[in-house]
Structure 1
Amino acid sequence: MVKKPNILFIMADQLRADYLGCNGHPTIKTPNIDALAARGVNFTRAYCQAPVCGPSRMSFYTGRYASSHGASYNNVPLRIGEKTLGDYLRPEGYRVALVGKTHMRRDDEGMQRLGIDVQSSRGVLVSECGFEPFERDDGLHPDQSVNPDLKYNDYLRSKGYEGKNPWHDYANSALGADGEVVSGWYMRNSHLAARVREEDSETAYSTRRAMEFIEQSKGSPWCLHLSYIKPHWPYMAPAPYHQMYGKDDILPVVRSEQERAQPHPVVGAFMGHPESTAFAQDEVRERVIPTYMGLITQLDEHVGRLVAFLEQQGELDNTLIVLTSDHGDYLGDHWLGEKELFHDASARIPMILVDPRPEADATRGVRSDRLVEAIDLVPTFVESAGGGNFEHVLEGRSLLALIRGESAAQWRSHAFSEADYAWRPARTELGLAADEARAFMVTDGRWKYVYYEHFSPQLFDLVADPGELRDLASNPEYAEVGEELAEALNRWFRERKMRITISNSQVAASTGSAHKRGYLFGLW
């Protein structure tokens, strides 16, 4: 029997694709992630399916678009009938576990309807997005009552960090000029060192827990989703990472006065959100982004620790490693903060895949410009594990052919992303009902087209205008391009996979067989 590879599925929260050395950032130090890119394939045009934590992750875990799985925004429950990564890998003998964040909300109504006890083994799995919760920590704990069972807080207390919520008071707070405790929720404090020791920080703790899982899982194949909380806000790093970079190290802001003076109505409404008005100020960018970079370098060093640990355990040559992110971070680009819309700063993600098997030797160190989507990982993992064909359910495509250098002439011609901004103040400012705040993006790699319900579209030339500063949608010279991409988006809508309870092969086997089965309708 061929030994099945382990799968280490690393996700960093809110990590921009262009804030890695291997992706061209001129000053950031990410030697360990760069080394992964040198050992594998760096997909430079990868897109998430919804640039917000919850729906993006649900697409990663189901292999399906947000329009298909329905969990369109944070805290929208993933319905109980959706299969996730664990449902595909556990039948192949894998232990499938989580360390870190999923941002998944369980379908309490569905569980109650089916009589599933949330404390049962089945109930735990469907409550945790199909993962064994070796340690779940979603990383946002303004009050301890949000998650009274948070193991990280118990760990911090065991190390002498006292209080009701040491996650906030130490890992995400600092000491001010007069020795007072100041909160990392306020970005003006992001240049200060977190009160926690680096070895006790969230990133270090998650890495250590991942190592403990790997040690416990010897002897059978495993899939570990190591979902780091940082560099997501609160932007606060432990020493020495808080002062590793300065304002001269950050990338120049990508924005224009024209964008602000005459914005698209939806983009303009997002420009009015507090995070956008804050990041529109140079003072904010120059204070926050160096810390954001420090958090990335800290993450990189722990990725290096983990790779070294795998080698020490004798598992490195049998472990498929993926490093990615759920979405990016505007950081003031386009006069915006946070994420959610479709500029590359928000919707494009890093995607590095290292397959240690000899079949992948031909592509080591390759930078691929193929259009890749977050939903491609589940079918990649299923094929790597020797699993079955789920083409009637999975909407992504396995990346193994690309990794092995095999012909992929029929690879996708477009990538898609979508947004449901019903919960955001922009919706009410625009006068939209809760089910009208929808937007969709399609790109063919050269052009990017964004459709907004009730508003005019946007069109960008990613070659001539990589900063996406000039909206060409109203220019009649580009009308044909816009129409072609609009048709591609309409075709995508028609191709969503809704018939998921019966396979295509079962349909094919029974096609035209009614008379053979005794249903003699239509005969004279």
Structure 2
Amino acid sequence: MKKQPNFLFIVTDQHRADHLGCYGNKTVRTPNIDAIAAGGTRWDRLYVANPICMPNRASIMTGRMSSLHGARHNGIALSRDHTTFVELLKDAGYRTGLIGKSHLQSFTGLPATNRYEPDPELHTPREELRDAFKDNRHSKDYDLEIALKWDRPLAQRLTGDFYGFEDVEIAADHADQASGDYLLWAREQRPDFDSLVGRKNALPDNRIKAPQAWRTAVPEELYSTSWVAERSQAWLSARASSDAPFFLQMSFPDPHHPFTPPGKYWDLYDPADIVLPDSFGKGDLPPIRAMREAMEKGSDPRDNQNPFTVTEAEARALIALTYGSITMIDDAIGRVLAHLDALGLAEDTVVIFTTDHGDYMGDHGLMLKLLLHYQSTIRSPFIWRDPANPAGGVVEGGAVESGLASSIDISATILARAGVQSFNGMQGRNLLGSSPPDCVIVEEDSQRRMTGFDRPQRVRTLVTERYRMSLRHGEDWHELYDLQADPQEMENLYDDPASAEIRHDLTERMLKRLIDLQDRAPLPAYRA
């Protein structure tokens, strides 16, 4: 392999770790992803820095927690003033490309819910002085991913690169509602493409009845998953004759809701064959009780981004559809890997697989994500296959790393393998050249009220080898689980007197880790 290897960085969306064969799932079929793990190393306990799309994607890009890079929730763009690891690769001579989902900026165009509200009785500062940062992400540089403004390819609207990516072709949003450059392409293939998408244009199917699920009329070859694979193959072909190393991020918008796998993937899995989690329907946390009551009363719309409860039949149906989306992605990955090999690039390319966060997928009777940090939402798959580096896990049958890790570690690991020094302030560690920590932190800062919550939430979670503890600002309930004795997280020990000493120890460890994660950039003007 070259001194500077190529990288194929594969990212899926809202995809829990145990929805892969190589992570122990006996139902979903993912032979191509499993093959990556079989030839490399699979991290069993990598946790997200934040279990929300934009914040964790920004943390992967910067190697920093969301409390530092500022993209704390969806709708808050990653500032162009923050350095990304892709910029460092580009600076070191890498050709960089992004095909698929970016979500470093908002694609809805909706204003943040906590926008500055002028007080009519006081003098209102001019706009650039209304935030702690003068660059408050409200310029046109942060409107690039808004779906309604996507009248021409993103590459034509850029000045310079896009967070370090020289080549960009974006699919925003999810499922058969994906937009962006992908939608422009789909309309070129079929001028009537808009008549194929959405629930109102769905094909009839009387078998599946569940929230946010419809049988899309979009054919497989025009679906976003196929487009991401096709455009990635084209990008790789263009790099085959170049001596410069490359970094390609191939980012799929699925298996995110709504649940619309196309063609044969719609009924590839029978809901009757789906085994529900042991925790289904269990759990007495205040928001779970409130969501369950709202479902029974019919007062929860269950048609938006907020988590909701489901019946057993609905859960089986939605999991089956999700498995269909995952297998479609796996098939697409197989085509790209075969193309990489046919181009003669496989022996020089590190292949990495991860996702931005997970999904409840029936745990405790819940669907989607947000605010409750069960393992299904905060634990992500991470697989590293390095054909020429034994430290990357080239082991017969694959290797498993069981130590704690975080999504902020991904950037530092890629940079170290590329022989590029990290920037000052990167908080992640090189997973291939350092020892695991004794704990990791997960952050979440919500922007709005949701069913079961009467106020926006601020949550901090500590995960250790044995425990998961989550503390909430402004609430009178918190969580503590013994993951060894209770892997389904069904017995909350936080208020158990017998667990008081454990809780105190974990609280101290959380405080120390939060102190450690305070910013170290910029450097001081003197040395100790």
Aligned match of 1:451: 471
Q: In 2, Cα distance between the equivalents of 1:113 and 1:339? A: 27
Aligned match of 1:378: 411
The structural deviation recorded for 1:357 is: 1.3
Amino acid at match of 1:214: L
Aligned match of 2:218: 196
Q: Does structure 1 conserve the Cα–Cα contact (< 8 Å) formed by 2:99 and 2:248?
A: yes
Change (3 A) 1:388 1:247: same
Amino acid at match of 2:23: N
Identity of aligned residues (%): 29
Amino acid at match of 1:342: H
Aligned match of 1:397: 429
What stretches of structure 1 of length at least 5 have no aligned partner?
A: 179-183, 402-407, 513-524
Q: Does structure 1 conserve the Cα–Cα contact (< 8 Å) formed by 2:48 and 2:407?
A: yes
Amino acid at match of 1:8: L
1:257-406 superposed matches below 5 A:
259=283, 262-263=284-285, 265-266=286-287, 268=289, 274-275=301-302, 279-340=309-370, 341-360=372-391, 363-364=394-395, 365-390=398-423, 392-401=424-433
Q: Does structure 1 conserve the Cα–Cα contact (< 8 Å) formed by 2:6 and 2:348?
A: yes
- What per-residue deviation string (whole Å, max 9, x for no partner) do you get for residues 117-136 of structure 1? 99999993788443235201
Q: Does structure 2 conserve the Cα–Cα contact (< 8 Å) formed by 1:277 and 1:335?
A: no
Aligned match of 2:460: 440
Query: Is 2:239 the counterpart of 1:214?
Result: no
Change (3 A) 1:166 1:311: farther
Aligned match of 1:42: 42
Aligned match of 2:116: none
Q: Does structure 2 conserve the Cα–Cα contact (< 8 Å) formed by 1:235 and 1:292?
A: yes
Change (3 A) 1:469 1:143: closer
Q: In 1, Cα distance between the equivalents of 2:142 and 2:450? A: 37
The structural deviation recorded for 1:196 is: 2.1
Q: In 2, Cα distance between the equivalents of 1:8 and 1:353? A: 10
TM-score normalized with structure 1 length: 0.83
Q: Does structure 2 conserve the Cα–Cα contact (< 8 Å) formed by 1:10 and 1:227?
A: yes
Q: In 1, Cα distance between the equivalents of 2:93 and 2:163? A: 18
Q: In 2, Cα distance between the equivalents of 1:305 and 1:49? A: 31
Q: Does structure 1 conserve the Cα–Cα contact (< 8 Å) formed by 2:105 and 2:143?
A: no
Q: Does structure 1 conserve the Cα–Cα contact (< 8 Å) formed by 2:95 and 2:246?
A: yes
Instruction: Specify which of 491, 513, 521 is matched with residue 492 of structure 1.
Output: 513
Q: In 2, Cα distance between the equivalents of 1:268 and 1:227? A: 35
SS in 1 for 2:190: coil
Aligned match of 1:229: 253
Q: Does structure 2 conserve the Cα–Cα contact (< 8 Å) formed by 1:125 and 1:132?
A: no
The structural deviation recorded for 1:425 is: 2.2
Q: In 1, Cα distance between the equivalents of 2:481 and 2:160? A: 40
Q: Does structure 2 conserve the Cα–Cα contact (< 8 Å) formed by 1:111 and 1:117?
A: no
- What per-residue deviation string (whole Å, max 9, x for no partner) do you get for residues 331-369 of structure 1? 231232211221011111111111111433765201111
Deviates more, 1:84-93 or 1:10-19: 84-93
The structural deviation recorded for 1:304 is: 0.9
Deviates more, 1:416-425 or 1:285-294: 416-425
Query: Is 2:275 the counterpart of 1:251?
Result: yes
CA RMSD across the alignment: 3.3
SS in 1 for 2:164: coil
- What per-residue deviation string (whole Å, max 9, x for no partner) do you get for residues 158-188 of structure 1? 333505x367359x9521269xxxxx9x945
Change (3 A) 1:240 1:256: closer
Query: Is 2:105 the counterpart of 1:105?
Result: yes
The structural deviation recorded for 1:255 is: 2.5
Deviates more, 1:83-92 or 1:134-143: 134-143
Q: In 2, Cα distance between the equivalents of 1:270 and 1:419? A: 20
Change (3 A) 1:69 1:277: closer
Q: Does structure 2 conserve the Cα–Cα contact (< 8 Å) formed by 1:443 and 1:449?
A: yes
Amino acid at match of 1:26: K
The structural deviation recorded for 1:15 is: 0.9
Change (3 A) 1:445 1:274: farther
Q: How many residues align?
A: 479
- What per-residue deviation string (whole Å, max 9, x for no partner) do you get for residues 263-315 of structure 1? 2x355556656447854212211222111101111111111111111110111
Deviates more, 1:1-10 or 1:313-322: 1-10
Amino acid at match of 1:174: A
SS in 2 for 1:349: strand
Aligned match of 1:464: 485
The structural deviation recorded for 1:87 is: 1.8
Aligned match of 2:13: 13
- What per-residue deviation string (whole Å, max 9, x for no partner) do you get for residues 65-123 of structure 1? 11111111001122232111222211110122211112122799738899989999999
Query: Is 2:168 the counterpart of 1:168?
Result: no
Query: Is 2:152 the counterpart of 1:157?
Result: no
Change (3 A) 1:377 1:152: same
Q: In 2, Cα distance between the equivalents of 1:216 and 1:444? A: 45
Q: In 2, Cα distance between the equivalents of 1:59 and 1:307? A: 27
SS in 2 for 1:489: helix
- What per-residue deviation string (whole Å, max 9, x for no partner) do you get for residues 136-161 of structure 1? 111249989xx6xx332232233335
SS in 2 for 1:28: coil
1:127-166 superposed matches below 5 A:
128-140=162-174, 150-160=180-190, 162-163=192-193, 165=194
TM-score normalized with structure 2 length: 0.82
SS in 2 for 1:477: helix
Q: In 2, Cα distance between the equivalents of 1:270 and 1:129? A: 39
Change (3 A) 1:95 1:239: same
The structural deviation recorded for 1:41 is: 0.4
Q: In 2, Cα distance between the equivalents of 1:450 and 1:77? A: 26
